[in-house]
Chain A
């Protein structure tokens, strides 16, 4: 038997990889070998643990000690003191925001305490490249149970009764989708996993694929059994090379163990999975465009109906489920529909993974029951706004969603409550913005994104979003005109009603929702030529506060347009005719003497 007295888990999610977890891991291994602890201590590379702002992170078991922001040179101390002598290295522990006490164990971190991890149950805890570790945590038991103890109909009913809804954005009931596809005439049928995660700021699907790829494969096989399909495709974007690599490995390991392939569990059921790598077009997350792309066609959507459940891949009945949706399936089969349905709100059951990004202290991935309030997510788990700034809004649902202002922070988050607020759940991205963010500029960012990603097949999306973007550019550069707001609204409703697919139909949402809650910011830009958040550079006027200016001359040297005038050791001034509003003087000034109005 393989046995180690200590397991050291090193996070190797993409977030930690970019903060150089690889060299931390190498240094750790080297130090362990130096002290000849390699027979006693096992180093395990895991997927994303969640607290991405603290990376690279390491967890030491059996004590469950959590170290953060490690550098390769820190590992010597961890090995010498902790792994050899059992002394926790206090210096490398985490101090949560607003606390003065260091936290030793992950169980004490509010970031983890407040979470209910179902879709993320294994990410960060197991080695994603080891099917053995997945099996040890009840992996593939749900598949075995479904195949040997349940009829396909019973599987569909279980998923239906669990209340699981699609986690990719629209929130369609998963069980219904399976039922429609199972009932549709035509053969063969297909299972497709939509791993074309494209919303800016959302990365839960990547994290699941990188951290727990077998959970997706197992769920696809269960779905195949339920609907009568023996073939599945995972459509994953080429920008996720690590996810592709780990999926490929997982598929070959699955085949090796007979957990994919012919005659699984001796029941005669066969299922296999192939990967299709997408070139990274946002529109390919739309299901009909995604199917076209798998078939080798141009990634363009087509009108619905017919829905993929009737005519999907190569015209055959097809289930398309998102990664996070699939990651819930095995747990529902194992624990039963009532267990899953006991969590969440009336119409949104279970848990949801949110990706916290933007001006929040604890950026990363969190999984909480549906119905948790925005305030809990952003302030308790997320640790509030960084730099002591004031919360302004949270953008949910990416470019198809909208923003929610402070007044609605106590809203329990589910599909329907977010719809009522004029936004959507989407894939669960949450971008938190503070008082320094201009809401017109934010809307412009998202519109710029969809305009760029529009496939161009239908005119409302191709031309309409372009016109809207032009108006927003005009407004943020101080050239806004009376009537622009009304024109934006008219265009928005026109595009929503006439665009071909979900991308176009939701493209105006960021504009409509910022208009709903922050109309005064649009008005200030247009009428007063002012940006209330002091964020739009072209609407700012730079001044030097004569009381604060020491006359050091740093700003005048740095100014690219020679707009700063004045003698040494005397307060300087800015020639507004020459000033190009680049902000260099403000950045360079050590005395905060440059102010913007």
Chain B
């Protein structure tokens, strides 16, 4: 360790890997993982989301799961929460999941046509 600045740089990198351990997150994605969701392919959506978050280095986003929310027909379904704003996307597939990360999380653009009506 050569200087305090070097330590701080290392700390900032390492902190990204510890983000999941914070109790509270401003931004989160909750994928509905009831039997209905899993049957419709929610597991694959979770995997794709995690990969995409990793690739885009969005470690501040909490990726969680919830149970069936009742809209079984429109699974896979996920909820994006940014601060107080909550958006539910329905019939999400792997491609849509990537888009949601890129457009909604990174650019703040809500993709209206995929949300629950």
Contacts and interface: CB of A to CB of B under 8 A. Distances in A.
A264 B1 contact: yes
Contact of B4 (A85, A105, A136, A144): A144
B53 A144 contact: no
B21 A125 contact: yes
Interface in A74-100: 84-87
B11 A136 contact: yes
Contacts of A147: 4
A61 interface: yes
Nearest to B4: A144
Interface stretch (A4-12, A184-192, A296-304, A361-369): A4-12
A270 B78 CA distance: 54
Contacts of B7: 135, 140-141, 144, 265
Contact of B23 (A61, A140, A266): A61
Interface bin, chain A = 35 or more
B117 interface: no
B64 A63 contact: yes
Interface in B1-50: 1-4, 7-8, 10-11, 14-18, 20-23, 25, 28, 30-31, 33-34, 38, 43, 46-47, 50
B80 interface: no
Given A61-B20, A86-B30, A87-B67, A136 B3 contact: no
Interface stretch (B54-62, B88-96, B97-105, B107-115): B54-62
Contacts of B74: none
B14 A135 contact: yes
Given A62-B64, A84-B65, A7 B46 contact: no
A132 B54 CA distance: 19
A141 B4 contact: yes
A257 B25 CA distance: 31
Most chain A C-beta atoms within 10 Å of own C-beta, residue among B7, B8, B33:
B7
Contacts of B4: 141, 144-145, 147-149, 265
Contacts of A133: 14, 18
A306 B46 CA distance: 67
B21 A61 contact: yes
A257 B67 contact: no
Contacts of B62: 5, 62
Interface in A377-399: none
B11 A2 contact: no
Contacts of A258: 1-2
Given A1-B59, A136-B11, A86 B65 contact: yes
A1 B18 CA distance: 11
B5 to A, nearest CB: 9
Nearest to B28: A62
A6 B20 contact: yes
A85 B67 contact: yes
Contact of A144 (B1, B16, B50): B1
B67 A86 contact: yes
Contacts of B25: 62
B84 to A, nearest CB: 18
Contacts of A264: 1
A578 interface: no
A299 B86 CA distance: 66
B73 to A, nearest CB: 19
B63 interface: yes
A112 B47 CA distance: 34
Most chain A C-beta atoms within 10 Å of own C-beta, residue among B18, B22, B43, B50:
B18
A4 B8 CA distance: 23
A410 B20 CA distance: 40
A198 interface: no
Interface of A: 1-7, 9, 39-40, 42, 61-64, 84-87, 105, 107, 125, 132-133, 135-141, 144-145, 147-149, 257-259, 264-266
8 contacts: A1-B57, A40-B50, A64-B23, A85-B34, A125-B21, A132-B14, A135-B14, A141-B11
Given A84-B33, A144-B3, 11 more contacts: A40-B50, A62-B21, A85-B33, A85-B67, A86-B31, A86-B66, A135-B7, A136-B15, A139-B11, A140-B7, A144-B7
Interface of B: 1-4, 7-8, 10-11, 14-18, 20-23, 25, 28, 30-31, 33-34, 38, 43, 46-47, 50, 53-54, 57, 59, 62-67
Q: Which 4 A-B pairs have the closest CB atoms?
A: A86-B65, A144-B4, A136-B14, A5-B63
